[in-house]
Structure 1
C-alpha cells in the first residue's frame, strides 16, 4: 500500500527519485579490462620509445624506436574508448589487474622485454575477449611481437626468454568433429558467421598454394627455397582450415583449377607473394572475431604467422594486422593541454 502511495506522489508531482550513489565502481568485463590494460601498456611503451629516440645519437634516423613510437601511437589510438572524443583522459586499468610494462623508461633490453611481453599478453587476452575486442587485441599483439623481433635484430639483442616461451597455445591440427545435424540452419545471405569466416580462410589458402606453386618456377634459388617452405606451410594450413570447417558442421569450399594472376606477378613474383600473405590477414582477423575456443586460438596463431610471412617477403605490414582501417579513422590521443593522460601519469594497475 505504501509503495502504491509513493508511486502516485511521484507521478503527480513529477519528482524523480534517484538512488544514492553507493560509491562502488561498476565491475568491468574481461574485454574492457583487457582493452584498458592494453591501452595503458601502449602509452607506457610509447613514452619509453620516445625516450630512446631522444637519447639516440644524432643522425641515427627513425628506423629503430622512431618507427616504434609511430606504431605504438596508432595502437593507443585504436585502444581508446570509442566514446572518448580526445578531450578527456583515458581510463586507467583497474587496480589489481595484470600489468606487463614498467612505468620507468629503461634501456633497450628493458624496452624489448616490455614490448614483447605486452604483445604476448594481448594475444593471450584475445583468446578470451569478446569478438571485436579480440580482433583488436590480436592485431595489436601480433604487431608488437613482430616489432620486438625487428628491434632485437636491429640492436643485436636476444629476445626476452618469456617472449619466446609464451604465446597462444596451438590447437590440435585436426579438431574433433562434432555430431552434425542432418539439416543445419542456413545463415542469412551475406551474414558474418564462423562458417563464412572459415570459408574465406580456406579460399585464401587455396589461392596461396596455387600462387606459390607457380612462383617456384620464377624465383632464384634462395627465394625458391623460402617459397617452398612457405608452400608446405600453406598446405598444412589448408588441411587444418578444412578440418575446422568440418568440425563446425559446414561445407568445405571446393577448390578451383587455377587463378588469373595480374601483371604484377610476372614483374615481381616475390613481391606478389607478400601481397598474397597480406591479403590473408583480414581473413584471419575475421575468424578471430567470429570464432571461439580452439578455432580462435588457431586463428590468432596464424594471424601472427601470416604477418611474419608478409615481412619475410618485404611486404609493408599494417600497424594493426587483421584490421582494415586507415590511421585517419582513429581518434586522436588527448593533447597535453587538455589532458594529463601521459603514460607516466596514468595510475598503474599493478
Structure 2
C-alpha cells in the first residue's frame, strides 16, 4: 500500500522538462535578464556639469591668487589691474556657482598663495584657464557652452591685457587664438528643395546663423565707411578689420549653406549710429560689442563645426571691440544683470561659519 502511495506522489520528469522549456522560451522571447542591481555605482556625471565644476574651481583659485597679489602689491601701480582681475573672476565664479556648492572652502585661496604667486604665473594660469574653457565650450550642452565660451573669452583677453600692462610676454595659447580660423568645407548632404526662412526671433541654428551673417554684412559696410573718416594709424586697423569681416562673411555663408539655411540678402546700405561721423572708432567698438550676444546665441544653438566657428568668433569679436576701446564684460556673449547672480560663500576666519559675498573683492579670508 505504501509503495502505491509513493508512486502517486512522484513527479513526472517530463513535467519538469516542459516547465523549464516554457520559462526559457519566455526569457528568450522578451529579452529579460535578471541582474542584481549595483546600488553602489553612481550614475555618470554629464560632461557639461564636469566642465562647469572644473571652470568654477579654476576661477576660484585664480581669484584667490589675484587677491593675494593685490594684497602684496599694496597701493602700487599694479593695484588697478589686479582689482579688475578680482572683479572679473568674482563675477565669473558667481555665474558658474550652483546653490549646492555653498561650502566654506569654495572661495578660499590656496595655502601660501601670497608667497608663491607671481605676475607671470598668474597671467599664464589665467590664459590657460580661458583656453580650456573655450575648448570645453565645443563639447558642452547649449546653455553651458555659451557660459563657458563667455568665461573663456574674457579670461584669455584679461590675460593679454595684464601681460601688456605688466610688460610680460603674451601667453602662447592666447597668442595662437588671434589667428585661429576654422576651415569651412562644403556639405555633400542633400538639402530640401525648399528651405523655410527662419523667424528672426526663433531659437534655431538657422536663425542664429542668419543673424550672425547679418552682423558681418553690416560690419563690412561700417568698416568701409570708417576707412574714409579715420586717421592713418586707425585706418590701418580698420583695413584689417574689414578684411576679417569679409572673410567671416564668406565662412558664415558657407556654414549656412552646409546647414541647408538661406543666406540673408545684403542691403545696399545700413543705418549707422549718429556718433559715427564724430567718433568712428567708438562706433566701431560699439558695433563689435553688439555682435557678442548674437555670437553667444550661435554658440548655444549650434554643434560641431558651426559651434567651433562661433566660439572662435566670440573671442575674436571681443578682442576687436577691446582694440577699438570698448570694455569687455566679464561674460561676453551673455546679457545678464550681475546683481542677480548668487553670492559667493566665504569662510569666516573667526567663527568658521559660511557667509556670502557679492562684492568685487575677496574677503580677508578669501
Interval of TM-score (by shorter of Structure 1 and Structure 2): 0.7 to 0.9
Q: CA deviation at 1:102?
A: 7.9
Residues 1:116 and 2:124 are matched in the alignment: no
Q: How far did 1:59 drift?
A: 3.8
Shift of the 257–90 alpha-carbon distance from structure 1 to 2, 3 Å rule, reads farther
Deviates more, 1:61-70 or 1:276-285: 61-70
- SS of alignment partner, residue 334 of structure 1: strand
CA–CA distance in 2 between the matches of 1:271 and 1:103?
Answer: 44
Alignment partner, residue 69 of structure 2: 52
- Structure 1 unaligned runs (5+)? 1-19, 93-100
Residue 211 (1) aligns with residue 222 (2)? yes
Cα distance between partner residues in 2 of 1:189 and 1:210: 21
Residue aligning to 1:72: 89
Work out which of the residue numbers 103, 114, 120 in structure 2 matches 1:89.
Answer: 103
Cα deviation for residue 157 of structure 1 reads 1.2
Structure 2: give runs of 5+ residues left out of the alignment. 1-36, 357-361
The whole-number CA distance in structure 1 between the counterparts of 2:60 and 2:160 is 20
**d(CA) in 1 for partners of 2:54 and 2:105?**
10
| Displacement of 1:90 | 8.8
8 Å contact kept, 1:38–1:122: yes
In the alignment, which of 252, 257, 268 is matched to residue 268 of structure 2?
257
Asked whether the equivalents of residues 318 and 332 of structure 2 are also in contact (C-alpha less than 8 Å), the reply is yes
Cα RMSD (Å): 2.9
Is the Cα–Cα contact under 8 Å of residues 278 and 310 in structure 1 kept in the other structure? yes
Structure 2 counterpart of 1:319: 330
Q: How many residues align?
A: 315
Counterpart Cα distance in 1 of 2:39 and 2:291: 49
Which structure is larger by alpha-carbon Rg, 1 or 2? 2
- Find the residue that maps to 1:63 and give its secondary structure: helix
Cα displacement (A) at 1:51: 0.3
Q: 1:65 to 1:91 in 2, by over 3 A?
A: closer
- Counterpart Cα distance in 1 of 2:309 and 2:155: 19
With structure 2 as the length reference, what TM-score do the two structures score?
0.79
Q: Residue 317 of structure 2: which of 306, 316, 338 is its match?
A: 306
Q: How does 1:114-153 map to 2 (within 5 A)?
A: 114-153=125-164
Distance 2:209 2:280 in 1: 27
Q: Give the drift of 1:190.
A: 3.7
User: How is 1:1-350 mapped onto 2 (pairs within 5 angstroms)?
Assistant: 22=39, 24-60=41-77, 62-81=79-98, 84=99, 88-89=102-103, 105=113, 106-165=117-176, 170-184=181-195, 190-337=201-348, 338-339=353-354
